[in-house]
Amino acid sequence: MKADRLKERLLALAEPDFQRFSSALIPGIDPDTVLGVRLPRLRKIAGELTKGDWRAYLQSASDGSFEEIMLQGMVIGRAKAELSETLRYVERFLPKINNWSVCDSFCAGLKLPGTHSKEMWDFLQPYCKDRREYYSRFGSVMLLLYYMDAAHIQQALRLLDEAPGEGYYAKTAVAWAVSIYYVNFPECTAEYLKTSRLDDFTFHKALQKITESRKVSGAAKDAVRAMKRERGSRQEPAGGNPDPPPIQSQRDFCFCNDKARFRMIE
């Protein structure tokens, strides 16, 4: 499917009310780049593209809208190829990510750790250590989605503790990951939190996410609240954006029963 014909199809599927709703959930994005196409329709198109010459599609794909970029990520996640080839497409795609929605959706569709756990673990190391906001978020979200197990928890917490990612969405991803590790491995993560070197913002955001979980007992939440630091002891991100508004009328997807609470606008 040629880029111009694809854009015409997306425009035909766009909903003005949904465009306003979804663009409001993605701070920092230009609303004019959001067409307003719902994710199930994008997934259907991605499935069609993957059945055809998906390499030619990715070669000529347009980055003109939020949906066109999202679609490329979906195709990369679905396409059947050797690991080395898929990872080249991943590397080319990452610079296009400029918001939490595309980043987290891309991670959720990139299920390579299920079949190439060690190779993907090694591949993710530089991204977990990257200062760029969405490269760092990519690494953190991949950890919490695919390496939430006893074999990786110590190494994962070390990576998260040392993550140098700058920007609100890099730091909130680290906090989110730490909170999910706590839900699944409370004793180990609680010990880590006692000596954590996370900056104040990320540390307190992790505590907040832990205390919001329905899977953490009241007594455990009290113990977590008692870990709060004096404000200003460690550097916090300049500026900062509010958390995405709560989704009220849309579906709320949860992976692995609260292992990763991942919200996607339908």
Q: How far apart are CA 26 and CA 222, in angstroms?
A: 32
Residue 250: pLDDT above 80? no
- Tokens for 10? 């997306």
C-alpha to C-alpha distance for 194 and 254, rounded to whole angstroms: 28
Cβ atoms of residues 159 and 192 within 8 Å: no
List alpha helices for the chain, DSSP H: 3-13, 16-24, 39-51, 54-60, 66-78, 83-93, 100-109, 117-128, 133-146, 153-162, 168-184, 186-194, 200-212, 218-225
Residues ≥6 apart with Cβ < 8 Å to 119: 83, 112
The pLDDT mean for the chain works out to 89
Render pLDDT for 105-125 as a digit per residue (tens, 0 to 9). 999 999 999 999 999 999 999
Residue 69 CA neighbour count, 13 Å, CB half:
22
Least confident of 13-17, 120-124, 240-244: 240-244
Give the residue, 263 or 48, on which the prediction is more confident: 48
Secondary element (H or E) of residue 142 = helix 133-146
Q: How confident is the model at residue 241 (pLDDT cuts 50, 70, 90)?
A: low
The candidate with the shortest Cα–Cα distance to 209, out of 241, 181, 169, is 181
